[in-house]
Amino acid sequence: MLKITSLDDIASLRENFEVECKLAAGKDGSGELPRDFWETYSAFANSEGGDVLLGLEERKGKFVVNGIKNQAKVQEDLWNLLNNPQKVSANVLKPNHVRELVIEDKTVIQIHIPKASRKQRPVYIGGNPMSGTYKRRNSGDYCCDGETVRRMLAEQVEDSRDSEILQGYGLDDIDLDSFNAYRQLYVSLQPDRP
């Protein structure tokens, strides 16, 4: 989760592959969950995760705190819609992923969206994964093509196949040259892992 504690932290923010800022003022200016929040939610969950900051306004390439006056309504809408399968396919958030930050006497809502598990992906909005699945690229949310969505759906099944223990097999059934080559490759890619 991104650490934001001061106005300087806000001023140094830039939207990128893991940060998205939204004004979220609503029609009356007191705060509303933006409609385009859900594309970002899907994109972060299907990519590497990220943080959405509600209550920030971009002015001349920098973010300033606008704040959200009715935080309770925004959070209530968030949790209600997260748990509505007609809105989104999976809720990947836990209560500690949503925080209220008070900066300069204004409240910003920070939502940390973790990467969804293989079993949960694709995380999509609406009722159709083919038209409601997004991924994050740079600072934008992009609708996935059919091939990407089918691959995510296929990986849900592969996850359970990878976790099965096969009976009747032992170390004698492993090709030691391949096993040693894999271990060497793993050590070179993950030198700090045991």
What's the pTM value of the predicted model, to 2 decimals? 0.80
Pick 34 or 155 by higher pLDDT. Answer: 34
Average pLDDT of 158-181?
A: 79
Q: Give me the pLDDT at residue 55, please.
A: 95
Residues 6+ apart with CB under 8 A from 41: 52, 88, 113, 123, 125
Q: How confident is the model at residue 161 (pLDDT cuts 50, 70, 90)?
A: low
Task: Using the predicted structure, report yes or no on whether residue 160 has a pLDDT greater than 60.
Answer: no
Q: Determine which of 82-91, 92-101, 156-165 has the lowest per-residue pLDDT on average.
A: 156-165
In this predicted model, which residue has the larger pLDDT, 154 or 160? 154
Q: Between these two residues, 156 and 38, which has the higher pLDDT value?
A: 38
Distance (Å, whole) CA 122 – CA 90: 9
Confidence check: pLDDT of 84 > 70: yes
At residue 107, does pLDDT exceed 60? yes
pLDDT at 192: 79
Residues 10-61 have pLDDT tens digits of: 888 888 999 999 999 999 999 999 999 999 999 999 999 999 999 998 888 7
Distance (Å, rounded) from C-alpha 39 to C-alpha 46?
A: 11
Q: Is pLDDT at 86 greater than 80 in this prediction? A: yes
Q: Is the dihedral of CA 97, 82, 141, 47 positive or negative?
A: positive
Q: Which residues of 6-41 are buried (b: 16+ CB within 10 A; e: fewer)?
A: eeeebeebebebbbbbbbbbbeeeebbbbeebbbbb
Q: Residue 77: is it exposed, middle or buried by C-beta count within 10 angstroms (0-12/13-18/19+)? A: middle
Provide the token pair at 175: 């090709």
* CATH code for the domain defined by 7-161: 3.30.950.30
With a pLDDT cut of 70, the percent of the chain lying above it is: 97
The conformation of residue 14, written as its DSSP 8-state character, comes to -
| Residue 142 pLDDT exceeds 60 | yes
pLDDT for the residue 59: 85
Whether 82 and 91 have beta carbons less than 8 Å apart is answered as yes
Instruction: Give buried/exposed letters for 132-170 (b at 16+ CB in 10 A, else e).
Output: bbbbbeeeebebbeeeebeebeeeeeeeeeeeeeeeeee
Is the separation of the CB atoms in 41 and 77 below 8 Å?
A: no
- Give the per-residue pLDDT at 158: 62
